[in-house]
Amino acid sequence: MAVVFHDVTARKQLERLRDEFTAMMVHELRTPLTTISYSTDMMLSDIGKMTSEQVGESIKIVQSTASHMLELVNELLDVAKIEAGKFQIVKKEDNLASLVSDTVAMIKPMADQKHLQIVLSVAPDLPTISFDRRRIGQVLNNLLSNAIKYTETGQIEILAHSTHSTGSGQAGSGQVVVSVKDSGEGIPAEDLPKLFSKFEQLGKGETGEKGGTGLGLVVAKGIVEAHGGKIRAESEGPGKGTTFSFTLPLN
């Protein structure tokens, strides 16, 4: 009887989490759709009165909002593939150091807007490994974007190095470790295990207080694990920053 009660309770909790997740997704899609609808309605009704600058600004808003929606839909599709066991990556020998540098250069303007310093530390002997450049770039972009989003002052460090196993006896055993460390809001210890769960993105601090679904971390976990690696988050608590690290195997 107790087992049946436990099963029913767990099922109801899962249903509640699914309902909350669905409501959150509806909100995340409705908000940009409302923005697009308002901007296009304004252009259609006032196009004769608007200056070219005003028209251009409205078009930029629509474009930016549509891009946000596309990103969200792509994340939802990725999560669905991960959960169905159909998520695929295309690995080839590539230079991870160059990908890290390229991603930092691409995202640096976001940090500059908040006057945040980005410190890049890549080991000079970082080996060439086999990985999906587009997908790992997606992971890096997500971690760096989150770090910038939740850091108001200070700096963000990106570190990359390799470690070699001494006990396996297999040539080339070991892994590459990439870390993104910020001086931002930090995360309570009890929230750390929830970060990479689809149904646990409604908390505070770097778990979602400033908006967003947190699905990027769910996708990042799926990408890293598809490579045979692991991803984790560490924080000493609120106000003490957060470090996200992921590993990729050398062989």
Residue pointed to by tokens 């062989």: 251
Q: What are phi and psi of 121, to 5 degrees?
A: -135, 100
Beta-carbon count within 10 A of 2 CB? 6
Closest of 184, 146, 145, 144 to residue 160, by C-alpha? 144
Dist CA 108 CA 92 (whole Å): 27
50-66 exposure pattern, b = at least 16 Cβ within 10 A, e = fewer = eeeeeeeebeebbeebe
Residue ranges per structural domain of the chain: 2-84, 92-249
The SS3 assignment for 93 reads strand
Q: CA-CA distance, 56 to 48, in Å (whole number)?
A: 14
Q: Please report, to the nearest 10 degrees, the dihedral formed by the alpha carbons of residues 168, 170, 176, 177 taken in order.
A: 0
Distance CA 83, CA 77 (A): 10
What's the pLDDT at 164? 79
- What CA–CA distances, in Å, run from 24 to 65, 130, 193, 199? 17, 36, 20, 10
Please tell me the predicted confidence (pLDDT) of residue 6. 56
Q: Residue 125 has which token pair? A: 């002997």
User: What CATH class is the domain 2-84?
Assistant: mainly alpha
Q: Quickly name the fold that domain 92-249 has.
A: Heat Shock Protein 90 (3.30.565)
Topology alike, domains 2-84 and 92-249: no
Residue 84: which residues within 8 A CB-CB, separation 6 or more?
none
What pLDDT, on a 0 to 100 scale, did the predictor assign at position 202? 41
Q: Which residues pair with 161 in a beta bridge?
A: 177
pLDDT for the residue 188: 92
Residue 65 sits at φ, ψ, to 5 deg, of: -65, -40
Q: What pLDDT was estimated at residue 214?
A: 76
Tell me how far apart the alpha carbons of residues 130 and 117 are, in angstroms, rounded to a whole number: 30
Tens digit of pLDDT per residue, the chain (251 long)?
555 555 667 677 667 666 666 666 676 777 778 888 888 888 888 878 888 888 888 888 888 888 878 888 888 889 889 888 899 999 999 999 999 999 999 999 999 999 999 999 999 999 999 999 999 999 999 999 999 999 999 999 999 999 976 554 444 479 999 999 999 999 999 989 889 887 665 444 444 445 556 788 999 999 999 999 999 999 999 999 999 999 999 97
Distance CA 180, CA 83 (A): 26
